[in-house]
Amino acid sequence: MSNEDESRVNRVTSGSLFEAEIGYCRAIASGGWIFVSGTTGYDCDTMVMPDDVVAQCRNALGTIERALADLGAGMRDVVRVRYIVPNPGDWPLCWPVTRAVFGAHPPAATMISAGLQLPEMKIEIEAQALHPLDAGQPMRHMSPRSSGAET
């Protein structure tokens, strides 16, 4: 990659040992977008994984929020999120947490049930955000029941 290409990509790390061992970064900002890697519920400072899926969800969203902040964005800038849980029955327990974190700015979302890297991992969250400094023109909003009429 040329220096010119590298200057268009801004990478941040959370300090997780997995990032160095596996070879990825927590988040990348490029081309007006921020891509946040799949994030599990470890406390990145202590590398302790809580037993509870709700605590894991809070930790993962906190790690995502810090990565976004390091790149000049916030949770309100998230436009797409993917939740991956090994046990689909755990997912509804996380709804109050995700609702509180995203508040009045909920992103498009998908929940996938799949195995995760380690058995103690009960949720993994991946996010994509529009970078507020590179967003360009404001988006036009559609009414929730419209057939294309702008609001």
Residue type for position 36 = V
- Say which CATH architecture domain 9-130 belongs to: 2-Layer Sandwich (3.30)
- Predicted confidence at residue 137, as pLDDT, reads 41
Main-chain phi, psi angles of 35, to 5 degrees: -110, 120
Number of helices (H), then strands (E), belonging to the chain: the values are 4, 6
CA distance 121 to 51: 9
How far, in Å, are 15, 27, 111 from residue 131 at the CA level? 22, 12, 23
The residue ranges of every structural domain in the chain are 9-130
pLDDT for 145 equals 45
Sign of CA dihedral 11, 15, 16, 21: positive
Note the pLDDT of residue 6: 53
**Any residues with CB less than 8 A from the CB of 66 and at least 6 apart, and which?**
14
* Whole-number pLDDT of residue 150: 42
Q: Supply the pLDDT for residue 22.
A: 87
Provide the pLDDT for residue 44: 77
* pLDDT tens readout for residues 21-47: 888 888 999 999 999 999 999 987 788
For the entire predicted model, the pTM comes to 0.83
pLDDT of residue 141: 40
Residue 134: predicted pLDDT: 67
Q: How close are the terminal C-alpha atoms of the chain, in Å?
A: 43
Query: CA-CA distance, 123 to 3, in Å (whole number)?
Result: 37
Beta strands in 31-145 (DSSP E): 33-40, 78-85, 108-113, 124-130
Q: Strand, helix or coil at 25?
A: coil
Closest CA to 58 of 24, 93, 89, 22: 93
| 3-class SS of residue 78 | strand
Residue segments in the chain with a per-residue pLDDT below the cut of 50: 1-4, 137-151
